[in-house]
Structure 1
């Protein structure tokens, strides 16, 4: 005897596996909040990077001063030259020592915080409703555990030190140039200022384009995982074209997104790179310096100082640009991770109940995926123990949704689902799942033997004996 519940309520479309949600700088302070436990380490890393960069520019200043001394030919030049040689050598040694210490602290902090974040993510994933995984797919989890954490790694271990060091070099070099000659220093700052304006223009819509690229990456990842997981079905039923079409569409969207970004910034980006090059600074310094030397208002020795120090400043521009982009990506990755961690876990009952019997009851059950349209509405049915109960209906009627409410893949938005008279929300999730044997329509096996896959659900001696048996008519598994 069977009981049939025909649920023909208008159903909202179920979320597609791997569907990407909007990403981006949802929480501008997400990176700071996630890195709060290692704030002291980051501060120490920044200070050491600044000191290292300051020491690193000392040899260039020493070379410039030695050139000025030798060109001027003042009395006592020999001793002054050796003094600057010592200063330059000391600066080079201090640069190496401080750089190593800064890198050590940064990588130590990086390893510690990323380990903690991975543990937090895994524990949080273990507490999420199983329906969340069906809706989100593996692409989002993979992105959080690999791509987003990798972006944060770049910020902690590399970008922070690079950005601090680049700013220090530019500030120290500019200060020295202002000391030598204010007019020539303003020429150099003018070139670098134009570069900064062009760079700002090229980056004005970076967040929008990065969001689009990140969403396209998520679609590519989800489509690739879908194809790999279902390769047996694809080969059996010849559905590869349809599955690969989704992958091709995701790749095409990524290509269009990247092309749109390049098309928008190609001129401003090229201008910023040109103005931030050694050639542009050298041209400006040589042109302005030649005029000032010709009219006698600038000494040749001072011009040499600009040719040595000013021309080297653009070498710090590219690391600063790369580091600032890394910080932007790190903020986006942190926002994605924080968004994942903020998803509410499956509520556990404060006062657990034990079911009495095994009857299943759907009492005026309603559920909505989006909070607007009901996937099932006002469904009532009783499934007595010892009988086979079938839920039938056309595609989209809510059969899978209704079945998913019993093991709490989702919690009902109206009514109640009971087992043995106890609301499933009052039964601890571990006990609830232990009471059931579930066979999903999308089966996934771990890369191990059949016996080990069986033991995952019920470890113990009895399972080992069962898993070790070989059916008499089975030749292969």
Structure 2
């Protein structure tokens, strides 16, 4: 067989939960897998019982075959030959063959729930953990490589369980039964030769497999890199087209494929070496066993049926002996894949609920930034000693040049990151003392860069509140001034938007995002350039709807175009992470400072990027 491969502000609390120790070793990975199987222990016991029954039937086949051959001591052409055919032995032979398959299938049927259940629980745990990791992790990750690691790790769960219950234990049971029969029924040398061959075979397989594992790991890593390169290029399809860089992307992808090819060839060469060595050991052991058997028949110590039985035993042992090498190689590979997936589970949460965190429950939705310092990287501070307040039910707008830290305010309020110093509070409660789920449930955001799910328009709008009725979805779409556009589509609300919403224009995506947030209807709103992709007519129409939606809600309005913030209760002007001016639109114009300069430039039509 050929194989292939309402309190006062609280002090800052720890932002991260302790990480689990890394897997590190094969034994550690297996220990982490066992609890997922423990809940299915009853099924494991039943499956093992069926496995033993299958092996007993399988070992009984050569014994029955021996008696069948010995009973056929008739002369050719004898008219009475058919009368001496042992019909009972023939029927028994067939029944044993059927029983082997029957018990094997019953074993797999009983244990399928355990295998699939354990795989499902691990995959779900990884999925939940990935969503719990910080925004920094998801900005730095390579989607293709990570998804491939998860796919391989989930498949490794299937394989490890299957190999342990379906292969390793059954093989050991069959070996013990066969060696016992050979030692007790015939010459003990039969058992000695088989045992020695097995020991040498296992030692050879383990040593060579450990040596070639490095090549397999390299091949997997290069495969993940190639996958990441391909997915990254496809996700940026339009950018590739804009710059006519199809050939450039193909060359970059081919470079990764070439590295993968070289690693795969080297891995296959070492696999061929392992296969050849294994077959040589098996062939030598078979020759030695048959030589002993033929000597026994020639000397009268064994019958022809004994020779047939020994040969049948060797054929039956050949498959599990051969498969032991496959099992070990696959287990090593699967443990490597499993460790990679567990490494994702071991990734420390940069932002985690503090011990004793409580749900957000308040009637006061005042948002306060109190002497906040923040930096994505230590050498690059973003916010410096920033303090301001958004009174409950009021709208505060933030304007300023790109890179001044405006969008960072929304990310910190959402607690995508934790601040280095100071405090952010809602209703007088430091947000680090609250559960993240309750905090984010109270906040709705229309981000500057709108990304939609590759699903229908109705699904994307309803994502703001999944239990919303279709009528509520339509009402939100009307408020966002996108209902007429949707109604004009052949499939209406069932129109799919494509990967990341690429089938829609920037303005259409932004209006879907606005509808989604309006449907959520939270007490705190963040509009981060919510109308930047809209034309002037649509922007003016939607501004009235947004103002209506923000009425009575605590709203943070981040904008480039000053015309969208003139009605805010207060306007903050930011530069280099600090507030340099604040007041109403009229007060800031009267001040004649930075805001007045920006307003003058925009009003005169000179334009400025803010």
Q: TM-score, normalised by structure 1?
A: 0.75
Q: Within the alignment, does 1:469 sit opposite 2:478 as a pair?
A: no
- Structure 1 residues 227-238: aligned runs within 5 Å: 227-238=233-244
Of the three residues 277, 282, 288, the one matched with 1:284 is: 288
Cα distance change of structure 1 residues 325 and 192 upon mapping to structure 2, 3 Å threshold:
same
Distance 2:72 2:93 in 1: 16
Distance 2:478 2:322 in 1: 64
Distance 2:44 2:212 in 1: 26
SS of 2:414 mapped into structure 1? coil
Cα distance change of structure 1 residues 81 and 210 upon mapping to structure 2, 3 Å threshold:
same
Larger RCO (CA within 8 A; separation ≥ 6): 1
Cα distance change of structure 1 residues 457 and 305 upon mapping to structure 2, 3 Å threshold:
closer
Q: For residue 207 of structure 2, what is the aligned residue in structure 1? A: 201
Aligned length: 440
Q: For residue 273 of structure 2, what is the aligned residue in structure 1? A: 267
Check conservation: 2:209, 2:329, Cα contact below 8 A: no
Q: For residue 6 of structure 1, what is the aligned residue in structure 2? A: none
Q: TM-score, normalised by structure 2?
A: 0.60
Check conservation: 1:42, 1:156, Cα contact below 8 A: no
Distance 1:426 1:249 in 2: 49
Check conservation: 2:398, 2:406, Cα contact below 8 A: no
Deviations 1:367-414, CA, capped at 9 Å, x for gaps? 55xxxx656488434577323034538xxxx999887545332334x3
Check conservation: 2:372, 2:421, Cα contact below 8 A: yes
- Structure 1 residues 33-432: aligned runs within 5 Å: 33-68=35-70, 70=72, 84-85=89-90, 87-139=92-144, 142-143=147-148, 146-157=151-162, 160-178=165-183, 179-205=185-211, 207-241=213-247, 243-244=249-250, 246-264=252-270, 266-276=272-282, 280-291=284-295, 301-345=305-349, 346-348=351-353, 350-351=357-358, 352=360, 357-358=366-367, 360=369, 363-367=372-376, 376=381, 379-382=384-387, 385-392=396-403, 404-412=411-419, 414-416=420-422, 418=424, 423-426=430-433, 428-430=435-437, 431-432=439-440
SS of 1:387 mapped into structure 2? strand
Check conservation: 2:145, 2:225, Cα contact below 8 A: no
SS of 1:437 mapped into structure 2? strand
Deviations 1:228-253, CA, capped at 9 Å, x for gaps? 22212222233445554553344334
SS of 1:27 mapped into structure 2? helix
- Larger fraction in strand: 2
Q: For residue 447 of structure 2, what is the aligned residue in structure 1? A: 439
RMSD: 4.1
Please, which moves more after superposition, 317-326 or 295-304?
295-304
Distance 1:333 1:43 in 2: 27
Q: CA deviation at 1:41?
A: 1.9
Distance 1:399 1:382 in 2: 13
Check conservation: 2:206, 2:328, Cα contact below 8 A: no
Check conservation: 1:68, 1:305, Cα contact below 8 A: no
Cα distance change of structure 1 residues 159 and 246 upon mapping to structure 2, 3 Å threshold:
farther
SS of 2:372 mapped into structure 1? strand
SS of 1:102 mapped into structure 2? helix
User: Which aligned runs of 4 or more in structure 1 are off by greater than 6 angstroms?
Assistant: 21-24, 398-403
Gapped regions of structure 2 (runs ≥ 5): 1-21, 76-82, 390-395, 490-503, 506-610
SS of 2:399 mapped into structure 1? coil
SS of 1:313 mapped into structure 2? helix
Check conservation: 2:118, 2:157, Cα contact below 8 A: no
Q: For residue 18 of structure 1, what is the aligned residue in structure 2? A: none
Distance 1:251 1:403 in 2: 41
Q: CA deviation at 1:152?
A: 1.4
Q: For residue 522 of structure 2, what is the aligned residue in structure 1? A: none
Distance 1:132 1:425 in 2: 20
Distance 1:237 1:362 in 2: 45
SS of 2:398 mapped into structure 1? coil
Distance 2:116 2:30 in 1: 23
Check conservation: 2:60, 2:96, Cα contact below 8 A: yes
Cα distance change of structure 1 residues 119 and 200 upon mapping to structure 2, 3 Å threshold:
closer
Q: CA deviation at 1:112?
A: 2.7
Gapped regions of structure 1 (runs ≥ 5): 1-20
Distance 2:170 2:192 in 1: 22
Distance 1:438 1:331 in 2: 43
Cα distance change of structure 1 residues 93 and 267 upon mapping to structure 2, 3 Å threshold:
closer
Please, which moves more after superposition, 27-36 or 376-385?
376-385
Q: CA deviation at 1:210?
A: 4.0
